[in-house]
Structure 1
Amino acid sequence: MPQLTWLVTGTSSGFGEQFVRSILAKGDHVIATARRGHERLGNLKDAGAAILDLDVTAPQAELDAKVKEALKIYGGIDVLVNNAAYIEAALIEELDTSRLLKGFETNLFGPINLTRSLLPHFREKRKGIILFMSSIGAYMGAVGAGTYSATKGALESVVNCLREEISPFGIECCLITPGYYRTNIFAPTNIKFGQPSIPDYAELNKLYQAGVNALHSNQPGDPRKATDRIVDMVRSEGKAAGKTIPPRSPIGADAVEIIALKTSINSRDSRSSPGPKLHQWTLVDADKFV
């Protein structure tokens, strides 16, 4: 496969950092981005990545300018990985609207706006691949996760429509839906707990915040194994050799189980419009992502 150039958001840790390392291991070019990237991504620069300061919540015009800057680094971009996200955690009744909007600005508006900035380049060359990092939060409810689940559920809906609009130009979209992986998503720097304000919820707040803290660094999945497999999927190599990029790709046995259960329930409960069946999903060696 020819050498590809990737642009990855949110690469200071977690899936973003591992994406960069998996990409470099394949000999591809990668532009690693983050807020204050030149301050925070020295380790990835040393590994061979190009570094770009990029805030996905910036205005559209600023993102357009950043993409133009990125295109000059290697003369083009082949793959965009919309990875940057964080968790805005609060019970629904205690959720401040401003915090709800901040979650959407990063997790939904950011990837959509950045995608819009890059689409003219992809349309011009009639080729491009866009990966959107979703979450099992789009398919399950959890205490305190209303904002995060809403952003990921909305992202999946938007991408489903986007795919139909841009596929005639040879542009491919894939929603990556991971289960629980040992990233920093639950670290204090990435999860923002709302301020408890209602006494009736005091005990519930303590319980779910303690559960989140206990989960940090104890998730079962290895993010590097996941990103290695996703890069192989894009490059049609390894276990993905000869296969096309699917519209959706759950990773992790837990993700497969949760999505299978959710789609099965939807199918049974909907009389007029049955939900998606499990065979519509790509479940290649999902149990190996641990």
Structure 2
Amino acid sequence: MTQASTTSKVWFITGASRGFGALIARDALLRGDRVIATARNPQTVIDALGEQANLLALKLDVTSETDAQAAAKQAVARFGRIDVLVNNAGYGLLGGVEEASADEVRKQFDTNVFGLLHVTRAVLPTLRAQGSGHVINISSIGGYMSHQGWGVYCATKFAVEALTEALHTELAPLGVRATVVEPGFFRTDFLNADSVVSTANHIAQYADSVGVMRTLMAGANHKQPGDPAKLASAILKLADDANPPLRLALGSDTVAAIQKKNQAVEAELQQWMAVSTSTNHDDVTA
């Protein structure tokens, strides 16, 4: 970590009526920051956070680019700037890759990927004009390491990782930062029926893979190791850092999973190195 900024910030947070979004908004407001908190129904934001002078609750369905553009304009009209964009809105699709219908896959990408892009495109002109700001995209350990039963969801989070890597490089010369946050399992309502959708189709032959995951998730709700309040505190520290990282893993389970995958990838790379490097033209020496 580098030296933290103590300047009051203006936050734009999607999916802010509950879960991580509401907790981040609450903590930002408690320290005197100003917050644009968005949800499909802005009244749910007021219900969660109360009426406050520093809070602007806005309607935003992230799947609507029109909503995103309108919300960004309202935010700047009210507070004059945006310092931190937190792309938090999203949901999970539990089911095997083959089990997921085209419509279920499309809806998952519409929210988790295209929705994030709608909001990011709407806010970035303000950050570029300021020559400052920080885009924080909430991914998942599933954005770094895919899992059985979560293939489509993880595919959306892999996309978020790729987009953030590119943004990190593209925005740096403009004074704007981009970070992807990779939470593990936190004790939120993520596994509730309104946050996770199960595929309508269940194929019996996947009982030993996808079926095992369904059973595991049914017993894991509200028993996850991560503390959501501590995640919110970590996001504020991230936003205050003068030189934020490209990636921020949150949770000891995420750290362990990343280390395990990195070791496996390196071992496999070495095992197949001769084949991997055998495909160059003969006139290529390196």
1:265-280 equivalence runs, <5 A? 265-271=264-270
C-alpha distance in 1 between matches for 2:48 and 2:39: 13
> Which residue does 1:52 correspond to in 2?
58
1:139-154 equivalence runs, <5 A? 139-154=144-159
> Which residue does 1:36 correspond to in 2?
41
> Which residue does 1:249 correspond to in 2?
248
> Which residue does 2:261 correspond to in 1?
262
Match of 1:65 among 58, 70, 82: 70
> Which residue does 1:212 correspond to in 2?
217
Deviation at 1:37, TM superposition (A): 1.6
SS class of match (1:93): coil
Structure 2 stretches lacking a partner, 5+ long: 1-5, 274-286
Deviation at 1:246, TM superposition (A): 0.9
Deviation at 1:119, TM superposition (A): 0.9
Give the TM-score, by structure 1 length.
0.86
Tell me: higher relative CO, structure 1 or 2? Use CA pairs within 8 A at least 6 residues apart: 2
Structure 1 stretches lacking a partner, 5+ long: 237-242, 273-290
Structure 1 residues 154 and 40, CA gap change in structure 2 (3 angstroms)? same
Superposition RMSD on alpha carbons, in Å? 1.8
Indicate the percent of aligned positions where both proteins have the same amino acid: 34
> Which residue does 1:240 correspond to in 2?
none
SS class of match (2:137): strand
C-alpha distance in 1 between matches for 2:22 and 2:8: 20
C-alpha distance in 1 between matches for 2:38 and 2:135: 16
Tell me if the contact between 1:84 and 1:106 (Cα under 8 Å) persists in the aligned partners. yes
Say how many residue pairs are matched.
265
C-alpha distance in 1 between matches for 2:254 and 2:206: 29
C-alpha distance in 2 between matches for 1:21 and 1:190: 20
Tell me if the contact between 1:80 and 1:129 (Cα under 8 Å) persists in the aligned partners. yes
Structure 1 residues 261 and 63, CA gap change in structure 2 (3 angstroms)? same
> Which residue does 1:113 correspond to in 2?
118
Aligned AA (1:196):
N
Alignment deviations for residues 203-254 of structure 1 (CA, whole Å, 9 cap, x no partner): 7555432321211111011111111122022123xxxxxx621111101111
SS class of match (2:135): strand
Aligned AA (1:219):
Q
